[in-house]
Amino acid sequence: MLLTIRSLTKTFPGTLALDDVRFDLAAGEVHALLGENGAGKSTLIKCLTGAYRPDAGEITLDGAVVAPRSTGEAQELGIGTVYQEVNLLPNLTVAQNLCFGREPRRFGLVSSRGMKAMAEGMLDGYGLDIDVSRDLGTYSVAIQQIVAIARAVALSGKVLILDEPTASLDAREVEMLFDVVRGLRAQGLGIVFVSHFLDQVFDLSDRVTVLRNGRHIVTEDIAALDRVRLIEHMLGHALEDEVEARNAGHVEARRPPMLHFEGMARRGVIEGFDLEVGQGEVVGLAGLLGSGRTESAELLFGLRAATAGTARDQEGPLTLDSPRAAIRAGFGFAPEDRKTDGIVADLSVRENIALALQARRGWARPIPRAEQQRLAEMYIERLDIRTSDAEKAVGDLSGGNQQKVVLARWLAMNPRFLILDEPTRGIDVGAHAEILRLIHQLTDEGMSVLLISSELDELIAVSDRVIVVRDRRHVAELTGAGISTETIVHAIAQHARKDGEAA
Amino acid sequence: MNPRLLPLYATIAIFLVACVICYIQFPYMLSTRVLGNLLTDNAYLGIVAVGMTVVILSGGIDLSVGSVIAFSGVFIAVMLRDTGLPAPVVFVLLLIVTTAFGAAMGGLIHGLAMPPFIVTLAGMFLARGAAYMLTIDSVPIDDPFYEMLRKAYYLMPGKGRLTLIGMVMLLSFAVGMVIAHRTRFGASVYALGGGENTARLMGVQVGRTTVGIYAFSGFMAGLSGIVFSVYTGSGYPLATVGTELTAIAAVVIGGTLLTGGSGFVFGTFIGVMTMGLIQTYIVFDGTLSSWWTKIVIGGLLLLFIVLQKGLLRLTSARFSGGLA
Amino acid sequence: MQTLRRLAPQIVTLLAVCLLVTLFFPGFLDISMSGGRLVGPVIDILKRSAPVALLAIGMTLVIATRGIDLSVGTVIAICGAVAAWAIAGGMGLWAAVALAIGAGLLAGLWNGVLVAVIGIQPIVATLILMTAGRGIAQLITEGRILTFTDPGFAWFGSGTLFGMPVPAVIWIVTGVVMAQLMRRTALGLLVEAIGINRRASALAGVNALVLLIAVYMASGLCAALAGIITAADIRGADANNAGLWLELDAILAVVIGGNSLLGGRFSIAAALLGALIIQTIDTGILLAGFPSEYNLVIKAGLVVIILVLQSPRLATEWYFWRRSVREGPPPATTKEHAR
């Protein structure tokens, strides 16, 4: 084995990001590393590239134990990385990027002719016919990725980590990139390939390792694995009791419709979809990362303006061209990325909870301090937010408690339609179950919920209806007894099979 | 075409249009005499703008340069008056002082992780204060060597005089172009302006580069101070108030992105010349008031900033497909 | 109680500076009544700090939104010029005041639109008006120092109200009104929210666009008041020198007031104390018999000290240093954290 990882463990305050993970990579192999967000892929890669130091475990490269402390050191050891973005500098020329730090010089000055020759030499064999003296930023992302690969290979040359390199490429560009990767494999490089596009994984990889919740789930030859099982590995089974809880209470009839969305679409973001939401209904949105599930929610909340489509309730049409308009229509939205889109870190728990309510009342009618205090204390108790008091800055709370604060902010608004994008990501199991229970409670009181989640069991546990999103399109709708891990996985897999042709 | 060259082309185009307008109204303006004066009058500004370009390319800003120029003038004048040191030795001493001053600011910016804006603001107060502490009056310089420097010129065809300080400016731009475009340091400057984290990933030594950038700007400000003292023949602590802003404006009009990472030293030269040309035009016209210079320069600033904003949006929209 | 704790460093600094000045100039704290007006060095400081204090009020709000307003110094010149032009044109006192305030609001609107709507970085956006503004002011005064003799208008600069100099009354009242407006309504909270996380605030329904514009307009309004005082004080509008470099003093006052340049939590009272500290140092140096040349160097030293105290990197290093002293060698990940 070229690279072996044994019992790798990494904890962050409040979360166990990697739990006793193993991984091997042979020379001349493409090894796919799969898992949903928060599974531990990026933590593993950061341990390999020296950005993080593991708490326990061992990394062996070429038989020797290594512990890189920085990206530079990892590079010198032979481990090079190409990320989805921020690899190279688009404001420098291709040649400058390739030769950076090793520019050939004449009379002490960088020789542009020498640099050009050096850069062209480095790109030799990658099948690129480009002018290296132009700015990197003027070329397509695919070419930028290949240039980044060429640099990483030239600098390190043993292990190449490709972290979601295809996220913004079209089908032709992906093929171009894969040809390059196959060439490198033939030269004997060990390649770690991270992607959430399953077709590409099947297309390119020799072996697959799946991580989930920081744990190693399976490593298998790609030939021995079919799509359905792979998705099952990625999405997992857990929370069995919650599933039962739902089945017990699920005999109810169809809820009275409340909101109607027709032909909601935005060019290049999500294809037109219709959606009807009943009062007290939980609609689940299933799909792999990057399938368009978050984008659907953003359209409904006016975060991205829809280029087509109408929305209406029982009373008439609704305008949803901005978050403020959506809030006026009684919507709420707890976004996926709490840190950047959810909490206002330096404000207190109390102020964070009152924020949306205050924004709706307008600046001139402040919520009295006592009322804010009451709201904060009520939700701290009701959602069991673990904080010393309501005046603590939200940024100092753990992830799960931050999520509860964002939820509390919307509950205080008493919305009729609440969109939850991955509400349980990265929070501990206890809080996880609490949030699912809360969703039940809310819908019993008549609130409607749109739940986006990568965890199928979670979707199954709480949804009355599940819509499957794939390739920026809503492709299937499952109801009642039709909702199961199997049916969802099949819906994703079936359609995913067409990815290659469609893209 | 490389979109990053667009602002530079726009700069050159505006300069050429300005030249044509000037020529149509006052044919005499396109003589080597006017050119010589343009170079001489703007020499100190051009030199300091070279340093400012490098700072802005790295994504920073240096507010201290105007004060450093004033300090330099006072330092030279007082040293020549009170010590027996010959002028060249004083020049070397001064350049050491201003370079070290710039390096210290760079060190603070990197070491404290503070915004360059506020650190160089402190530097601005300090340099101006140091000038005041040396003297509060205008100190004339009468030194034979100075006379020689002031009177040295090369007679261009058409009787225009390319003075020594004009030549120093042209040389500064040449050196600045070599440093920015032909050295590893220059590549690191652009890399920093492109994004500090990526630059670090690519192996840029951020601390050392930051210190180098501000040291260079300090050196250029010192050199500019020497040229300014030759130009005015005195040292005055209240001189060149606000030159840092004029220099920043010249850099922006020269097509350099204020957020860093994109631009050309040559563009700054055109920027300085454009601003000088506007001033000369207003002098020639005689009926227009001097304040129009500021308004036109403000308008040009707006034009370039909006143009760059549009370009940025255009390129980022193409690659990321809309809202990020 | 909480407010007092927030203001403690500024109050202590101000008292320390006052004490220091008193040591050198024993008469510093003397206040007497003469002809119906209070006189004394302290009163003089209150009067002289008016322009910077007024600017600091608006600047605090702008900085709280993670912005900066470089144009306020030139806006002073513009508004002074407008007021003087109106007075000289015989439009009367209140028309002059109204026009000057209108000009300030317009300048703020311009900055706000560039920042909030077009999305230009605040430092760049306000640089435009900073550069062009003096030209505009000179355009209004036609390059001369526009003088007037209207005693009504001059009252804003040199009159007294209840024994206090009018400029001092104006900045104190403006400060109190603005601070109360921020804290008695929800404006303060909303401004802080968009300064800390504009995206999350917008998602929660905060109207960041309008708030940003309003904040720059508030800054323009404060600059207009400062412009009126400055023009009234010298009974003329000097387009070249009015308000020159005051934006830097105002930013300094805000920073001395402990407000972070990265936006978020703000205190107008602390910024006003910052303005008083600056003015006390200025006046104190003169009174104590030092040459005024020391002024800038002391200011620079002050800024550096404050920077060091506020530095995020130093705070982490200090933390790790303390930990390492207690627990042995520092963890190797220090660098990562520091970033």
How confident is the model at residue C212, as a pLDDT?
95
Q: Please answer yes or no on whether A110 and B3 come within 8 Å at the CB atom.
A: no
Selected residue with higher pLDDT from A307 and A409:
A409
Going by pLDDT thresholds of 50, 70 and 90, the confidence category of residue C216 is very high
In chain A, which among 168-207 make CB contacts under 8 A with chain B? Answer: 168
Q: Among A100-114, A162-176, B234-248, where is mean pLDDT lowest?
A: A162-176
Q: Tell which residue, A196, A266, A275, has the closest CA to residue A235.
A: A196
CATH, domain A256-266+273-330+415-503, list 3.40.50.300, 3.40.50.12240, 3.40.225.10, 3.40.50.460? 3.40.50.300
Q: Which residues of chain C does B258 touch, with a Cβ-Cβ cutoff of 8 Å?
A: 121, 123-124
- At C314-325, the pLDDT tens digits run 666 665 665 555
Instruction: List chain C residues with CB under 8 Å of B104.
Output: none
What local confidence, expressed as pLDDT, does residue A327 receive? 92
Percent of chain C with pLDDT over 70: 90
Helix axes C208-234 and C187-196, enclosed angle (nearest 10): 110
Q: Is the pLDDT of residue A95 over 80?
A: yes
User: For B186, which residue in chain A has the nearest alpha carbon?
Assistant: A110
Size of interface A-B (CB pairs under 8 A): 69
pLDDT score at B273: 94
Residue B160, both tokens:
């225009």
Widest CA span of chain A, in angstroms?
Answer: 83
Chain B nearest CA to A429, separation (Å): 31
- Closest-CA distance, A323 to chain B, in angstroms, reads 15
Contact list in A for residue B209 (CB cut-off 8 A) is none
The pLDDT value recorded for residue A294 is: 86
Count CB atoms within 10 A of the CB of residue A482.
13
Give B152→chain C minimum CA distance, Å. 34
Per-residue model confidence as pLDDT tens digits over A37-55: 667 888 898 898 888 889 9
Going from N- to C-terminal start, the domains of chain C cover 2-292
> A355 to chain C: nearest residue by CA?
C204
B194/A135 Cβ within 8 A:
no
Q: By percentage, how much of chain A surpasses pLDDT 70?
A: 92
Which of A84, A86, A100 has the highest number of chain B CBs within 10 A, making it the mutation to test binding with B? A100
Lowest mean pLDDT among B166-180, C10-24, C295-309: C295-309
Mutate to test the interface with A, among C3, C189, C194, C211 (most CBs of A within 10 A): C189
Chain C hits for B301, CB-CB cut-off 8 Å, are 127-128, 131-132
Out of A248-257, A311-320, C23-32, least confident range: A248-257
- Find the closest chain B residue to C292 by CA distance: B132
Q: How far apart are CA C158 and CA C43, in angstroms?
A: 13
User: Mean pLDDT of all residues in chain B?
Assistant: 88
Q: Closest to A304 (Cβ–Cβ): which among B182, B183, B323?
A: B323
The residue extents of the domains of chain A are 3-91+135-225, 256-266+273-330+415-503, 339-413
- Between residues A473 and C332, the one the model is more confident about: A473
The answer to whether the Cβ–Cβ distance between B319 and A138 falls below 8 Å is: no
- The Cα–Cα gap between A335 and A422 comes to 8
Amino acid at C21: V
**Which of B182, B191, B323 is opposite residue A92, by nearest beta carbon?**
B191
Hey, are the CB atoms on A363 and C193 less than 8 Å from each other? no
Of B183, B195, B201, the CB nearest to A109: B183
CATH topology match: A3-91+135-225 vs A256-266+273-330+415-503 = yes
With beta carbons less than 8 A apart as the criterion, state whether C37 and C160 touch: yes
According to the model, what pLDDT value does residue A495 have?
Answer: 53
Per residue in C51-62, pLDDT (tens digit) is 999 999 999 999
Report chain C's mean pLDDT, rounded to a whole number.
85
What are the tens digits of pLDDT across the range A193-234? 988 777 788 889 999 999 888 889 889 998 888 877 887 787
Whether B23 contacts B218, CB under 8 Å: no
**Would the pLDDT of B15 be above 60?**
yes
Check whether B216 has a pLDDT greater than 60.
Answer: yes
Which range, A189-203, A329-343, B90-104, is most confident? B90-104
Instruction: Pick A3-91+135-225's CATH classification: 3.60.130.10, 3.30.360.10, 1.20.1250.20, 3.40.50.300.
Output: 3.40.50.300
Residues in A 87-106 with any Cβ partner in B closer than 8 A: 87-92, 96-97, 100-101, 103
A100 to B187: CB separation less than 8 angstroms, yes or no? yes
A51 has a chain B CB within 8 A of its CB: no
Residue A239: pLDDT band with limits 50, 70, 90: very low
CATH architecture of C2-292: Orthogonal Bundle (1.10)
Q: How far is CA C83 from the centre of its chain?
A: 21
Q: What is the mean pLDDT of residues A141-166?
A: 87
Q: What is the pLDDT of residue C171?
A: 95
Decide which of A247 and C95 is more confident. C95
Point out the least confidently predicted range of C154-158, C227-231, C270-274: C154-158
- Per-residue pLDDT for B97 more than 90? yes
**B99-157: pLDDT as tens digits:** 999 999 999 999 888 888 888 988 988 999 899 889 888 999 888 888 888 888 888 88
Query: Among B169-178, B202-211, C7-16, where is mean pLDDT lowest?
Result: C7-16
Q: What letter would DSSP give residue A339?
A: I
Q: A340 touching B, CB under 8 A? A: no
Decide if B309 and C314 are in contact by the 8 Å CB cutoff. no
- Interface ipTM: 0.81
**Is B322 an interface residue toward A (CB < 8 Å)?**
yes
Which residue type does A120 have? Answer: E
Contact yes or no for B191 and A112 at CB 8 A: no
**What is the average pLDDT across A432-456?**
86
Question: What's at B152, amino acid-wise?
Answer: A
Interface membership of B259 toward C (CB under 8 Å): yes
Q: What is the pLDDT of residues A399-411, one digit of tens each?
A: 778 888 999 999 9
DSSP assignment of A202-266 equals: HHH-SEEEEEETTEEEEEEEGGG--HHHHHHHHH----HHHHHHHHHTTT--PPPEEEEEEEEEE
Is it the case that residue A30 has pLDDT exceeding 80? yes
Contact C85, C280 (CB under 8 A): no
Q: How far apart are CA C79 and CA C63, in angstroms?
A: 22
Domains of chain B: residue spans and CATH: 3-314 (1.10.3470)
Asked if B183 has any chain A CB less than 8 Å from its own CB, the reply is yes
Q: Which chains share 3+ C-beta pairs under 8 angstroms with A?
A: B, C
* Element (DSSP H or E) covering residue A28: none
Whether A12 and A47 have beta carbons less than 8 Å apart is answered as no
Across the interface, do A363 and C184 touch by the CB < 8 Å criterion? no
What are the chain A neighbours of B4 within 8 Å (beta carbons)?
A: 91, 135, 137-138
The 10s digit of each residue's pLDDT in C279-312 is 998 888 888 777 777 777 877 887 777 667 766 6
Higher pLDDT, B156 or C19: C19
A14-23, A311-320, B10-19: segment of lowest average pLDDT: A14-23
| pTM for the model | 0.81
Residue C200 to residue A344, Cβ atoms within 8 A: yes
